[in-house]
Chains A and B, each alone.
Chain A
Amino acid sequence: MEPLRILIVDDEEELVSTLGERLALRGFQIESATSGEDALRLVGKNDFNVLIVDVKMPGIDGLELTASVKHDKPELPVILLTGHGSVGEAERGMRVGAFEYVMKPIDIDALIEKILNAAARKEGRLS
């Protein structure tokens, strides 16, 4: 079975690399971007199973990125990363089509469960 392809988008480079490393150790194929602009370019050129996107980023933020992705690839699930102070924004993200949101600091097992659910939804295995 092909590994799930995940794109992680966060302006905190070190968070992207460590989270990516942890998910890669668990069998996921990881790509990363540190801005919404780079993420849009990668989404345009690649076929990802799930996007993990930080809500607060300079330039194109997580909500704009989600809206743009849902416009171009409505089937691609987006999981938002957020903190307590940004829950309102994450809920707005759900309204523009995000699949779920996860609070920082991130519980890796909870995130993996959401990734698998999101990928299953994309494949039509979860209603």
Chain B
Amino acid sequence: MNQEICRLRKEELAFFAEIGAGVSHEMRNILAIIGQNAGLLDDPLALARRGKLRDPEKLKQVAARIARQVDKGIEAMERFSRFAHAADERRASVDVAALVENVTALARRHVRYDGGSLETELPDEPLPVTTNPFSLQHALFTSIQMVRQCTEKGAALTVKMANKGTAAVLVVSAAAASGNDRLSRRLDELSVVTDELEGSVETSSADGVLSLILTLPIRSV
């Protein structure tokens, strides 16, 4: 049992680091763009001080670009903050739809680097579930990575969620002619996390679509 807990903690740390590295990469690009735009303001401002500013519209454009990047930065930090605060309590009531939206947004950059895409199909209604929020994020991110790694580079991934009354079902899928055997062999990588969630995981392959299905019991507070 101790070995299982040790393995879970190690995997959680690696997962946290991977998400953190992705967000820091995004923030660095945002700051780099803001830095270049701030530099672009130098020349027209020097002209303005000498009363020779020819194109005030240019200043507005640069200011708008900076504002756009600041908005992107705020959104990235809010996503990361929601992600990190999921570790505050090992059991809490969470809206699974909102959590899926946040995790997929964080995972999208990783998928994009393989030339792939990641979309969600979520119900409009919130779905509150009492669970371990951090483990749920971990399970979903790992599922996305596993499907990505078991399908062709550049695959279009979809995360769907359904309320089945006593269970929330999350399905990560992609078009793939093969890969079900590889995916099935890797299910053990998720078992320690799904045990923590008291849920289950299985794979399916039909009509050229490979899926990884996570089932979580719904326990409202």
Contact = CB atoms under 8 A, between A and B. Distances in A.
A2 interface: no
A19 B65 CA distance: 13
Interface in A4-59: 12, 14-15, 18-19, 21-22, 25, 56-59
B25 A85 contact: yes
A15 B30 CA distance: 8
Interface string A84-127: 11100000000000000000111010000000000000000000
Q: Is the interface of B mostly helix, strand, loop or mixed?
A: helix
Contact of A19 (B36, B68, B114): B36
Given A83-B28, A85-B25, A22 B40 contact: yes
Interface residues of B, number: 22
B69 A105 contact: no
B32 A56 contact: no
A58 B153 CA distance: 11
A105 B37 contact: no
Contacts of B24: 83, 85
Contacts of A21: 36, 40
Given A21-B40, A83-B28, A85-B24, A106 B35 contact: yes
A22 B31 CA distance: 16
Nearest to A15: B33
Contacts, number: 57
Contacts of A83: 24-25, 28
Interface string B111-130: 01111000000000000000
A59 B35 contact: no
A9 to B, nearest CB: 14
A58 B37 contact: no
B65 A14 contact: yes
A116 B21 CA distance: 32
B43 interface: yes
Interface string B95-120: 00000000000000000111100000
Most buried by A among B29, B37, B40, B69: B29
B32 A25 contact: no
Contact of B36 (A22, A56, A59, A86): A22
Interface string B17-46: 000010011001101111111011001000
B76 to A, nearest CB: 13
26 contacts: A12-B29, A14-B69, A15-B29, A21-B36, A22-B36, A22-B39, A25-B40, A25-B43, A58-B112, A58-B114, A61-B113, A83-B24, A83-B28, A85-B21, A85-B24, A85-B25, A86-B25, A104-B28, A104-B31, A104-B32, A105-B28, A105-B31, A105-B32, A105-B35, A106-B32, A108-B36
The 6 closest A-B CB pairs, nearest first, are A18-B36, A105-B35, A105-B32, A104-B32, A83-B28, A15-B33
Interface of A: 12, 14-15, 18-19, 21-22, 25, 56-59, 61, 83-86, 104-106, 108
Given A14-B65, A57-B113, 17 more contacts: A14-B33, A15-B29, A15-B32, A19-B36, A22-B36, A56-B113, A58-B113, A59-B115, A86-B25, A104-B32, A105-B28, A105-B31, A105-B34, A105-B35, A106-B32, A108-B36, A108-B39
